[in-house]
């Protein structure tokens, strides 16, 4: 049994090392990894040696630094092939961009945050751009609201407690009670919104996506710039309806046949 515990600990440390590369998004030296983890260099070196053997980490012959290996890319490709919501949503995202002229994002709930899993951008200079793989908070984004509106209240409270409700602007919602009240409206209307809660001068709108079991862990949203005094006119009613239709079309392709 102690051996099993040791193996689990080693796996946890290996994942922690991978997280270092993911956060920094660059090659790292043994000294840097030791400092970031707080582990002795010998421990880090032994872990890296095993990870190199598995091709999840590579070492540069030029400077000796370490980086993520190509085998992780292979893992990612396998996940993408089987993550139906991303594959099915792509043509719908493109259609929504063409209709709305706004940036469109597909996000999924992951580890109490939102993970952007796909996006589509309009062909114009003035657009909101974000990177697939970025994480966003759930409490002050429309996609977070769209997803959590279909979780039970206790689950939402636990997520908010773990993730926190950091203030990004003066308009960021700070009260769990007020947040739950907003979610009731979102659930009823099938549309979530936020105005300058996450970034000043920007707003977003989102609708939930349901799988064949009626579970909502993803949402499609549009993000756009706000012009002074134009909060309600940030996007047209036609665009908001197109957004809701897009989410419903993706849900239908995932096998959803009801209404939450």
Q: Which CATH number fits the domain that encloses residue 29?
A: 1.10.10.10
Tell me the angle at which helices 2-24 and 30-37 cross, rounded to the nearest 10 degrees: 110
Q: Which CATH number fits the domain that encloses residue 150?
A: 3.30.450.40
Mean predicted confidence (pLDDT) in 219-240: 78
pLDDT of residue 84: 75
- Average pLDDT along the chain: 87
Distances (CA, A) of 126 to 73, 80, 121, 129: 32, 30, 11, 9
Mean predicted confidence (pLDDT) in 121-127: 66
| 115 and 228 both lie in a single domain | yes
Residue pLDDT, tens place only, 38-54: 999 999 999 999 999 88
With cut-offs at 50, 70 and 90, classify the pLDDT of residue 255.
confident
Has residue 1 got a pLDDT over 50? no
| 163 and 46 both lie in a single domain | no
Locate 93 and state its tokens.
Answer: 């995202």
| 121 and 231 both lie in a single domain | yes
Locate 214 and state its tokens.
Answer: 């009626």
DSSP codes, the chain: -HHHHHHHHHHHHHHHHHHHHHHH-S-B-HHHHHHHHT--HHHHHHHHHHHHHTTSEEE-TTT--EEE-HHHHHHHHHHHHH-HHHHHHHHHHHHHHHHH-SEEEEEEEETTEEEEEEEE--SSSS-----TT-EE-STTSHHHHHHHTTS-HHHHHHHHHHH----SSTTS---HHHHHHHHHHHHHHT-EEEESSSSTTEEEEEEEEE-TTS-EEEEEEEEEEPPTT-STTSS-HHHHHHHHHHHHHHHHHTT--S--
pLDDT of residue 121: 86
Residue pLDDT, tens place only, 151-164: 999 999 999 999 99
Has residue 7 got a pLDDT over 70? no
| 103 and 45 both lie in a single domain | no
Residue pLDDT, tens place only, 65-81: 999 988 888 787 766 65
Domain count, the chain: 2
| Residue 41: domain span | 2-74
Determine which of 68-72, 84-88, 146-150, 170-174 has the lowest per-residue pLDDT on average: 84-88
**Gap between the Cα atoms of 64 and 216, Å rounded:** 45
Residue 259 lies in a domain: no
- The label of the residue with tokens 């440390």 reads 13
pLDDT of residue 2: 41
| 37 and 143 both lie in a single domain | no
| 200 and 243 both lie in a single domain | yes
Mean predicted confidence (pLDDT) in 7-12: 76
């Amino acid at each position: 049994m102690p051996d099993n515990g040791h193996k689990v600990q080693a796996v946890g440390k290996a994942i922690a090392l991978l997280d270092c590369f993911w956060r920094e998004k660059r090659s790292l030296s043994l000294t840097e990894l030791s400092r970031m983890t707080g582990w002795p260099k010998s421990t880090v070196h032994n872990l890296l040696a095993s990870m190199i053997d598995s091709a999840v980490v590579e070492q540069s012959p030029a400077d000796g630094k370490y980086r993520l290996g190509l085998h992780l890319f292979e893992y990612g490709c396998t996940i993408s092939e089987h993550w139906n919501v991303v594959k099915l949503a792509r043509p719908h995202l493109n259609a929504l961009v063409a209709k709305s002229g706004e940036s469109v994002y597909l996000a999924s709930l992951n580890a109490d945050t939102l993970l952007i899993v796909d996006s589509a951008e309009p062909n114009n200079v003035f657009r909101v751009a974000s990177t697939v793989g970025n994480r966003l908070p759930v409490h002050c984004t429309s996609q977070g609201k769209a997803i959590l509106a279909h979780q039970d209240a206790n689950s939402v409270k636990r997520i908010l407690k773990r993730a926190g409700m950091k203030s990004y602007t003066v308009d960021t919602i700070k009260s769990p009670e007020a947040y739950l009240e907003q979610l009731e409206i979102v659930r009823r209307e099938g549309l979530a919104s936020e105005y300058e809660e996450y970034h000043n001068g920007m707003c977003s709108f989102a609708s939930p996506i349901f799988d064949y079991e009626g579970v909502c862990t993803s949402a499609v949203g549009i993000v756009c710039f706000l012009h002074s005094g134009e909060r309600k006119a940030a996007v047209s009613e036609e665009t908001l309806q197109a957004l809701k239709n897009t989410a419903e079309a993706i849900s239908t392709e995932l096998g959803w046949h009801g209404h939450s």
